[in-house]
Structure 1
């Protein structure tokens, strides 16, 4: 275990506009033209920024406006307990899942299992080499699910990159048996159209359904054909995971023509991603609901029949949202926080030039009941701390902090760090805590920072793309009640109902 050489607490001042100016043209992108999702199988080489921006960043560090290179700063209510650097898996760290005393950390080269029974000293239990971006991860009982969203030569963990124009190429979902955490075993694989960028588990009595989100089809890709306006649904028998199979492809954006019925993107809506599938889906099984972040659209849909989800409402923001990335319900299912991954996670967007309403969260209230429910926009939230032009920073993965009567969330912002914020008042969200490192480089735009930051059983866990696995402790009277809430399992995109009595709410009766 290693801790920062300088883990001091310091309150940050907002950087001046000159120090914060970023170049939106400097993107780290992967995939077909027009797609700017998370970094791909082989992220682009770091890009140098202008000399004036280098001087501005160094001046901002000298003036205390941003942390120094790799320096750790945080608010008074957050304590940095541990950092575990990357080890045998050198690729980009990605998402997290939890079960009992274990944390499961995705990596573009495979996954890693930590024993977190002592949060101050996590221990590596096992590391599994199984390349295939982005290795989005979740767990259910003795099963672990791993997404592959890059075209591979076959479905094995020894596969190599292979063009998606080749019909024999493979992308999709891998399933592992983790009954022995020290020796996970690969048990099955299911190929899905356009691969699996992310996935979401929908629990059932005898089965686990997996909603597979993927996008960016191309006529030249035999297994990823346009319009690709829906999601793949995999049915996994709990007692026979080797029989996992796709059981449907529900269309969420019906429409005439080769492009389907989603957001057309540019040039109709300049700067907005064309909807060719979903990036991420969060389900709330206790309410039979799901929220989809689908490139150019945000949707609310019913999962009463998990094999045949039904869209209830759909929203767009063609002014400030470039790429609908993820979604989080508040407790009670009265609000949804959608995130906009402007620049695909590879750009410096947390600055004065971009402003507070782009690359931010959009908070929507859910009004009405059942199938007549509607999403109504209330406000944006973005971290108030400007970052250097060499720091990729934008809204990314986070989770609810379970406190009755409050809407609190912890969230990753790549090199913007980790933010704890309050959206109890949908129209006036505010940050109440933060943790961040200074820029990885002061001369080059390098991808890094926290990919996922989640609250689990009293602590915040973060998977930093470059720096490794972090554990934080939050001490604040506003969030302290959450320490009493304990879960056996947490996949954030399968959002739990933290308080049993909330299940009596008949809000979703038709």
Structure 2
């Protein structure tokens, strides 16, 4: 099984960074490698990448109990975060395969591989996507022993797994199975396991009492008549989804699908049904989605330039490489406004909207979000027409040169965790009247693309 990402564009990877934007004002830019924050934000701790995977970049994060699972192009690491001020690495697993999106459930860790390999093992090497025997898809690990995770199963999927979204079963099925919605895209005529038209997702069914029996159970087509292919300035035409966020208790999901934003009814887990779809002339690449707690709004991100360009500046402006806030009105998506960080970045800094999560504040809609070398932003979208930044953390340009920054920034049990490409895991705290009530919310698990309401996570 193989993926076309090598042949076209590595969206979300920023492996080869093309930094071509105009420079920001010099007095706006922190000194190289210097951490700067707003007055209500504290940098609690930085933990450098563990030696076994220090040479490859950090990506996504999942949480369960006292542990954080940080994906990395070279594998993943497990961190003990029971005391965030003294957080430490428990173990690292070397198991290469971009981009290592992660999700955790019980004793199982699911990792996404969107890099054509010569086999499914952790000792595999890269192999051309044109070779039929190449593999990519999802790897499953047993992490019951945090110091010695055990690789137990692989599942091959069409065009690999750029991202994955864990969706629990419902009703009697809830304690029996979980489902993985696998997003992949960019087929090609010379990729035997990724032929056009793709325009679909793969759904893996994982029996919880026998996870080694996990297998692809459905491949529903999202765009039977084709996706957005002709809009000017698209990064690439729609050929599938980049990422899906499921709000399982409400039986809905939001898909960020390259050139399209999509809403799904997922009441039948194996047969998600498209209920709404939209495009935006200012969006180059629909990257990710987040529901507000009441599911009355959806935030979509635009990964302009594929994450490899300096787009946080006056030249690009506020409406490109930004977030778009939509209200749900009678099941349809109604555009309200854009949000983009107000801090201009240097022409050496790749910066664009990327992965974030809600901060569980009762009665308000507040997010923390990664912006690559724009750092992370804490912003309030309670008024969907007038979103505003209320806090931030960032570093100045890299003294060593090249790009990087924070891939994902998520709030978990009182702290913000940021996975930085090069610098490792940052732990951050916000003290602000607008977010203070979130400190009372606790959860035992957080896969950000598997949203749960605050009431089920500690709110009254």
TM band (smaller chain)? over 0.9
Counterpart of 2:437 in 1: which secondary structure?
A: helix
Q: Which of 315, 318, 322 is residue 353 of structure 1 equivalent to?
A: 315
Please report how far the alpha carbon of residue 65 of structure 1 lies from its aligned counterpart in structure 2 after TM superposition.
1.6
Query: Partner of 2:79 in structure 1?
Result: 114
Query: Partner of 2:188 in structure 1?
Result: 218
Q: Does residue 343 of structure 1 match 2:305?
A: yes
Query: Partner of 2:202 in structure 1?
Result: 232
CA contact (8 A) 2:118 2:126 kept: yes
| CA pair 502-289 structure 1, distance change in 2 beyond 3 A | farther
Please report how far the alpha carbon of residue 503 of structure 1 lies from its aligned counterpart in structure 2 after TM superposition.
12
| CA pair 406-47 structure 1, distance change in 2 beyond 3 A | closer
* 2: CA distance, partners of 1:501 / 1:137: 21
Q: Does residue 393 of structure 1 match 2:351?
A: yes
Q: Which of 101, 104, 107 is residue 139 of structure 1 equivalent to?
A: 104
Q: Does residue 243 of structure 1 match 2:213?
A: yes
CA contact (8 A) 1:364 1:378 kept: yes
CA offset digits 1:291-324 (Å, max 9, x no partner): 0000000001110000000011000002x10000
* 2: CA distance, partners of 1:157 / 1:49: 36
Q: Does residue 191 of structure 1 match 2:156?
A: yes
Q: How does 1:286-435 map to 2 (within 5 A)?
A: 286-318=249-281, 320-368=282-330, 373-435=331-393
CA contact (8 A) 1:32 1:216 kept: no
* 1: CA distance, partners of 2:124 / 2:89: 25
* 1: CA distance, partners of 2:129 / 2:206: 26
CA offset digits 1:349-403 (Å, max 9, x no partner): 00000000000000000011xxxx1000000000000000000000000000111
Q: Which of 222, 226, 234 is residue 252 of structure 1 equivalent to?
A: 222
* 2: CA distance, partners of 1:406 / 1:279: 28
Counterpart of 2:312 in 1: which secondary structure?
A: coil
Q: Which of 61, 69, 82 is residue 32 of structure 2 equivalent to?
A: 69
TM-score by length of 1: 0.86
* 2: CA distance, partners of 1:47 / 1:217: 24
CA offset digits 1:234-290 (Å, max 9, x no partner): 0000110100000110011111xxxxx20014xx53335311010000000110000
Structure with higher Rg: it is 1
Q: Structure 1: any 5+ residue segments left out of the alignment?
A: 1-28, 256-260, 505-510
Counterpart of 1:120 in 2: which secondary structure?
A: helix
* 1: CA distance, partners of 2:305 / 2:74: 24
Q: Does residue 37 of structure 1 match 2:11?
A: yes
| CA pair 294-48 structure 1, distance change in 2 beyond 3 A | closer
| CA pair 93-124 structure 1, distance change in 2 beyond 3 A | same
Query: Partner of 2:236 in structure 1?
Result: 273
| CA pair 503-75 structure 1, distance change in 2 beyond 3 A | closer
* 2: CA distance, partners of 1:501 / 1:161: 41
Query: Partner of 1:175 in structure 2?
Result: 140
CA contact (8 A) 1:280 1:327 kept: yes
* 1: CA distance, partners of 2:163 / 2:118: 20
Counterpart of 2:192 in 1: which secondary structure?
A: coil
CA contact (8 A) 1:303 1:309 kept: yes
Please report how far the alpha carbon of residue 498 of structure 1 lies from its aligned counterpart in structure 2 after TM superposition.
1.1
Counterpart of 1:151 in 2: which secondary structure?
A: coil
Query: Partner of 2:428 in structure 1?
Result: 472
* 1: CA distance, partners of 2:434 / 2:339: 19
Equivalent residue pairs, number: 450
* 1: CA distance, partners of 2:340 / 2:293: 21
CA contact (8 A) 1:286 1:503 kept: no
User: What root-mean-square deviation, in Å, do the aligned CA atoms of Structure 1 and Structure 2 show?
Assistant: 1.9
CA contact (8 A) 1:103 1:113 kept: yes
Q: Does residue 459 of structure 1 match 2:382?
A: no
* 2: CA distance, partners of 1:390 / 1:262: 34
Q: Which of 202, 213, 219 is residue 167 of structure 2 equivalent to?
A: 202
Please report how far the alpha carbon of residue 502 of structure 1 lies from its aligned counterpart in structure 2 after TM superposition.
12
TM-score by length of 2: 0.95
Query: Partner of 1:10 in structure 2?
Result: none
Counterpart of 1:170 in 2: which secondary structure?
A: coil
Q: Does residue 81 of structure 1 match 2:10?
A: no
Please report how far the alpha carbon of residue 30 of structure 1 lies from its aligned counterpart in structure 2 after TM superposition.
5.5
Please report how far the alpha carbon of residue 31 of structure 1 lies from its aligned counterpart in structure 2 after TM superposition.
3.0
CA offset digits 1:308-349 (Å, max 9, x no partner): 00011000002x100000000001100000000000011000
| CA pair 131-272 structure 1, distance change in 2 beyond 3 A | closer
CA offset digits 1:424-445 (Å, max 9, x no partner): 0111000000000001148x5x
Q: Structure 2: any 5+ residue segments left out of the alignment?
A: none
* 2: CA distance, partners of 1:36 / 1:186: 26
Counterpart of 1:163 in 2: which secondary structure?
A: coil
